[in-house]
Amino acid sequence: CHLPDQGPSPSISQYNGSLPNGDRGRRKSRFALCRRPKASGVKPSTVHVACTPQAAKAISNKDQHSISYTLSRAQTVVVEYTHDGNTDMFQIGRSTESPIDFVVTDTVPGSQQSHGGEGQTQTQTQSIQSTISRFACRIICQRSPPYTAHIYAAGFDSSKNIFLGEKAAKWRTQEGQMDGLTTNGVLVMHPRHGFTQDSKPGVWREISVCGNVFTLRETRSAQQRGKMVESESQELVDGSLIDLCGATLLWRTAEGLSRTPTVKHLEALRQELNAGRPQCPVGFNTLAFPSLRRKEILDEKQPWAYLRCGHVHGYHAWGGQGREPEDEVVEVGRERECPMCRTRGPYVPLWLGCEAGFYLDAAPPTHAFSPCGHVCSEKTAAFWSQIPLPHGTHTFHAACPFCVQQLAGESGYLRLIFQGPLD
């Protein structure tokens, strides 16, 4: 719901609260859409066929939005777009040019990051060949109640044009209108029962340049489009996931966010957890979750857990049965034997998930994702463990929303077992 003051907020699934180098300008981990001072929306109007002077003028006129569909070297269809005073347009993509409101870059799963940090360094970003389109998609929001928002594949460039070349999947509809798909596509999934404690995963669909809904292609860039799903809409709802082939966004409405825990509430839960003085059952030292921002250097009170059994410990080098020397430096995620129950499993530090928009409820953080160790409420962990997030061009897997590391184990998450103080 696009509101005059505080509108919907797409968040990038993977950044736990902010980008690694901080949120700056149009490059942020979350972005609120607010009603613009002047309407910026556009809607389709005149259609020009072949290489006519009108078509050439529409493409060259920098004050005129247009979409160009190249059918062959001899034939191009240009659809002019006119100003729409009832809507605002917001564009998302990899380009840093001015038409892009929300700049996104490829997310690197937690396991592929150096030093266990959140996200990637500038050098890492540059070395990755991005699969995100420079002008990936556009969102059109109504300026008046009920402030509905609709998503479309592709965004207008600095010349206010969208070009679909010969190789792009495109076609003429039964009504005689043109439509098409972008190279790697824009996928959307709407959760069933909203983004609540009762949420269930929906079905991933592809959205076309004109906002029609299709079943997925065989692979992301296949020439053959899927089947049109006329019963479904490209209207975004609270909890809709938008995948740009390299980054996944979570769409939250203002109404939905009003029911979501705030960062202040998450901080209160952290302090409440620490006030219970959980102890390491081996060293009997008191454990404490560090402040919400994840750090590269681990605190000595940092809780660690064995991800097979869920027992929470402090940092220790003892691995049981003489397998590891006492002074061995513990390798994060390495299989070790839990001193409490003798179960062998990955041994990792625990971090509180601090992107509040990913939470389904305000319950205490009692469960951890495996193998990354991000901690959140049980309902939140259960929901995200069921969501198949697109990975690459044709695979899907469940991942931690806070770091996008692929989940492992039977369910992808587990209940943590804390030991209270002995006094």
Q: How far is residue 216's CA from residue 207's CA, in Å, rounded to a whole number?
A: 9
| Cα-only R_g, the chain | 24
Residues 122 and 154: beta-carbon distance below 8 Å: no
- Nearest Cα residue to 154 out of 189, 191, 179: 179
Residue 1: the pLDDT is 36
Residues 210 and 42: beta-carbon distance below 8 Å: no
Is 332 exposed, middle or buried (CB count within 10 Å of its CB: 0-12, 13-18, 19+)?
middle
User: Which residues of the chain carry a pLDDT beneath 70?
Assistant: 1-28, 50-60, 109-128, 292-297, 318-333, 421-423
Residue 316: the pLDDT is 77
Q: How far is residue 416's CA from residue 30's CA, in Å, rounded to a whole number?
A: 29
Encode pLDDT of 6-60 as tens digits: 456 666 554 554 545 545 555 667 888 999 999 999 999 988 886 665 666 666 6
pTM for this entry: 0.87
Residue 312: the pLDDT is 96
Q: Tell me the backbone φ, ψ of residue 359, rounded to 5 degrees.
A: -85, 140
Structure token pair of residue 307: 């991800």
